[in-house]
Amino acid sequence: MIVLGIETSCDETSAAVLEDGRLLSNVIYSQIDTHRIYGGVVPEIAAREHMARLPAVVDEAMKKAHVTFSELHGVAVTNRPGLAGGLIVGVSYAKALCSALDIKLIGVDHLEAHMLSPFLENEAFKFPFLGLVISGGHTNVYLAEDFGAYKLLGSTRDDAAGEAFDKVAKMLGLPYPGGPSISKAALSGDPQKIVFPQPQMKDSSFDFSFSGIKTSVLYYLQRNEEKLKSGEVTKEDVAAAFQKALSRSISNKMRRIFAAHPVASVAITGGVAANAFLRSEIEKVAAEKHIGVYVPSMLLCTDNAGMVAYAGYEHLRRGTTSGMDMEIATASEM
Ligand code: KG4
Ligand code: ZN
The residues, any chain, with a CB within 8 Å of residue 290's CB and separated by 6 or more, are: none
Contacts of 197 (CB under 8 A, 6+ apart): 212, 213, 216, 245
Domain residue limits, the chain: 2-116+300-317, 124-295
pLDDT classification of 276: cutoffs 50, 70, 90: very high
Choose among 131, 94, 99: nearest CA to 261: 131
Question: What sign does the dihedral 294-297-298-303 (CA atoms) show?
Answer: negative
- CA 311 – CA 147 distance, rounded (Å): 9
Closest ligand 1 atom number to CA of residue 9? 6
89-98, 202-211, 306-315: segment of lowest average pLDDT: 202-211
Angle at 8 between CA 105 and CA 269, to 5 degrees: 95
CATH no. of 124-295? 3.30.420.40
Residue with CA nearest ligand 1 atom 19: 179
pLDDT digits (tens, 9 = 90+) for 27-47: 999 999 999 999 899 999 999
Distance of alpha carbon 332 from alpha carbon 160, whole angstroms: 14
Mean pLDDT of the chain: 97
Q: In a mutational test of the pocket of ligand 1, which residue from 11, 280, 302, 307 has the highest number of ligand atoms less than 8 Å from its CB?
A: 302
What topology does CATH give the domain 2-116+300-317? Nucleotidyltransferase; domain 5 (3.30.420)
pTM score > 0.75 for this model?
yes
Residues with Cβ within 6 A of ligand 1?
10, 135-137, 162, 165-166, 177-180, 183, 270-272, 274-275, 302-303
Residues 104-146 pLDDT 10s: 999 999 999 999 999 999 999 999 999 999 999 999 999 999 9
Which ligand 1 atom sits closest to the C-alpha of 166? 14
Q: 149-155 and 139-146: which strand pairing?
A: antiparallel
Least confident interval from 11-20, 158-167, 200-209, 320-329:
200-209
pLDDT of residue 201: 81
Distance (Å, whole) CA 235 – CA 229: 10
CA of 161 from ligand 1 middle (Å) equals 8
> Does this chain's domain 2-116+300-317 share its CATH topology with 124-295?
yes
Look at residues 290, 285, 295, 212 and name the one whose alpha carbon lies nearest to residue 253.
285
β pairing state of 129-134 and 265-269: parallel
Section 64-93 average pLDDT: 98
Mean of pLDDT values over 174-190:
96
